[in-house]
Each structure stands twice: as C-alpha cells, then as structure tokens.
Amino acid sequence: MTTIKVGNTVVKIYHCNEKGRYDQFKVVYRIDGKRKIETFGKLKKAKNRAMEIAVKIENGERDALKLTNVDRSTYLRAIELLKPTGVPLHVAIEEYLTLRKPAECPEKLVPDVIAQLLEDKKAHGASRRHIQTLRRQLNRFAEAFDYNIGSITARVIEQWLASLKVGPRSRNNYRASVVTLFRYARKHGYLPRERETEADLVDKVKERGGEIGILSPKELAELLSKANDEAALFMSLGAFSGIRTAELLRLEWSDINFERGHIIVGKHKFKTATRRLVPISANLMQWLSVYRKETGRIFAGNHTPDRVIAFAKQHVEWKSNCLRYSYASYRLAGTQDGPKVALEMGNSPAMLFRNYRELADEHDAKAWFAISPKRSRKIVDVQFSARA
C-alpha cells in the first residue's frame, strides 16, 4: 500500500494482481462519507491522481471529484480551447449563457400592436383597401385576444380560426393577417426575434376551390331596378366589365374612354402585371353615359362594396365575386373566344375555361348584355328582356 498525504488529507493506493496476469493500482478515498475507488494500470498514474485528489479535498474542492470520466474529458478539452484566449472557463460559460438567453420582451396588448401596425401601414403608403382588410380581420382577432401578444400560442390561434366558420380561402386570409401582425410584433421587440412566431407555426388549410356563383340576368335586372345610384353604378360596372372590386375602387373617370369605348386598367395601379383595356359593352355605355362630365375617383370611399352587398343580400342569394364571375361566364358564352376574354379580365385562358366554360349559354349571354336603364338619368328604371 502507498499513502499520499496533503495536509490532513490521506489518499491510499493499493497494489493488486488481477488473476496473476497484470498489475492494478487502486486509488481509494472518501467523498461525503462514500468510499470511492479509481483503478490504474501504472503506479505513476495512480500516484498523480492520488495527489490531485488529495489537493482538491484539502482545498475544499470535493464537488470536482464527483465528475465522471466523460465530464473530466470535457473539462480538460474546454480548458485547452480557452488557453489561447486567457479567458477562465467560468467566465466563458457566463458569457455564453448571456448570449443564449432570450431577451425579455415587454408585454404589449394585441389591440395596441394592431393600432401601431395600421398606423405604420398608412404612413408607409399601403393601400386603403389593404389597411381596411387588416383592420377588419385583426379587430376581430383582438376581440378574442385582448391581452399580451407574447402569451398567445399557435394552438389557440388555430382554435380561433376554426371558430370563424368561414371557407378555406377566407380562413387562410385571416391567418395571413395574423401572421402579418405577429411578424410586426417580432420586428418591434414584442416577441423574441430569434425564433419563428406562433402565428407562423399555424398551417394553412387546403383550398379545394368552391362553387363558382353567378347571377341570372333576371336577378341582376331586379337588383338594378331597386338600386340607388351608387349601387347601380357599382353593379353595372362589375357585371358588364368584369373588373375586380379592388380595381373598381381605384378607378377614376379619366380611365373611362367614352370616345373609344374602353376602360383603362393600368399596371401602375392594379393587381395585374400588364396594362389592359376592358371594352365597354353597348348596355354598359348606357349606364355610364350620364357620367360623361364627371372627374376624379368614381367611388369616393372603400365602403361601397359593403353597402352594395348588404343591399343585394336583401333580394338575391349573393355569392362572393359573383359580378366578376357572371361577366366571365356570359362574356365567354357570347364570344366563344377564351383568349380574348382572358386578356380583358387579366386571367389565363386555361383558368377561364376551367371555371366558366359551361356556366352559361349564348341565350343567357344575350339577355345579360341587354340589361339597360330605361331612361337616361334615372338609373333606377331598368329595361330587361328575358328573350333577348
């Protein structure tokens, strides 16, 4: 037996022969009342380890002796890596943990983030229609979540979207607005910047495509006969030109060329990538003729579609985008020229044929484009012939 002594600490080394084949040196010591044994094949290594243990025990570093062999290897590797920097291991670990710790985000109520988002959108020139959509959808979100945005999880967002009872496309549109809100909050420090937002974790639902809804000529004639000037102008433009709602709201009277018989939809204003000309049908010209001397925006505000839809739902079964869908169906049935109609509408011929090819026939088309006002000034009087 060999004894290593440092101060009052004694560590013993026992020599034994394993089955008479090779020597072993066992370093024996006690930590917290428990006997510990480490085995070495060389006496020199055993003495070095025994001295290291005795020093640590004497200096009160008993916890260091509880490390496993893997822990000790990791420790030695860390010391080796830090040696060129001169930084102590504990300092390096503290700095690392500081960098890894997510920054604490200030609490911010959902309605407050929405108000800030909308204000910034307006300041940066976002379209009124876009801001209006965000406001409508996000205010509905705020009604359900009037608390800190940082406490909202993907799961509760999914549950809220499901509770809306809307179709796949509308649900995805609401999701997109919520994602915009959460990314804005992350950008401004209300959510952690180093990870994906909870809204981004919410999956889109699959859009299988809904039934294309169109109005019959009789239904449109009935609506126009009961509509006020604003509704009649909006519906006649949508029904007889197929221009998208967002495009209609941005049109100016100068975009309507009465002399050449077309409406200019410019790429600098609207969704489509190229400038296009939409023909003014004979009956649409009658609806528009009383406005020849008008200037400025055709529709003063963005609430026109809401008012028109509210009115229409009192009289017919109204489906989303039915004015544009109706125009596409009747125009295609009347011309039998898909590329021509697709060009007028800013669509692809393939999409046009896929959605509208068999929704109407030539007889329906003639009836549709025969709907006109009876008198030049009173738009409320409508002439319609089902036999046109």
Q: Give the DSSP per-residue string, 181-226.
A: HHHHHHHTTSS-TTS--TTTTSPPPP----PPP---HHHHHHHHHH
Q: Mapping DSSP to helix (H, G, I), strand (E, B) and coil, where does residue 264 land?
A: strand
My answer on whether 145 and 290 are in the same domain is no
pLDDT over threshold 80, residue 209 = no
**pLDDT at 65 (0 to 100):** 57
Q: Same domain for 268 and 338?
A: yes
Cα 154 off chain centre by: 12
Q: Is residue 114 part of a domain?
A: yes
Residue 18 maps to a domain = yes
Q: Is residue 235 located within the same domain as residue 161?
A: no
Residues 168 and 117 in one domain: yes
Q: Are residues 378 and 230 in the same domain?
A: yes
The span from the CA of 44 to the CA of 56, in Å, is 19
Tell me whether residue 126 is in a domain. yes
The answer to whether residue 208 is domain-embedded is no
> Mean pLDDT throughout 128-141?
91
From 54-68, 222-236, 315-329, 335-349, the region with the lowest mean pLDDT: 54-68
- What residue has token string 């009836």? 367
Over the stretch 42-65, which tens digit does the pLDDT of each residue have? 898 999 888 888 887 777 665 555
Q: What is the pLDDT of residue 387?
A: 40
Instruction: Give me the number of domains the chain comprises.
Output: 3
Q: Is residue 199 part of a domain?
A: no
- Judge if 247 and 314 occupy the same domain: yes
Domain that holds residue 282: 217-383
For residues 9 and 55, state if they share a domain: yes
Q: Which residue among 169, 187, 205 closes a domain?
A: 187
Both tokens of 140, joined, read 């509905």
- Clarify whether residues 85 and 149 are in a common domain: no
Task: Please check whether residues 178 and 230 belong to one and the same domain.
Answer: no
CA distance from start to end of the chain: 119
- 369 with 225, same domain? yes
Orientation of helix 168-187 relative to helix 110-123, angle to 10°: 90
More confident residue, 285 or 70: 285
Query: What percent of the chain has a predicted confidence (pLDDT) above 90?
Result: 44
Average pLDDT, the chain: 84
Range 262-279 average pLDDT: 71
Would residue 167 count as lying in a domain?
A: yes
Say yes or no to pLDDT of 273 above 60: no
CATH number at residue 262: 1.10.443.10
Residues 47 and 164 in one domain: no
Which among 187, 205, 233 is the end of a domain?
Answer: 187
- Reported as a single tens digit per residue, the pLDDT across 213-242 is 889 999 999 999 999 999 999 999 999 999
At 14 the three-state DSSP class reads: strand
Tell me, yes or no, whether 233 and 362 share the same domain.
Answer: yes
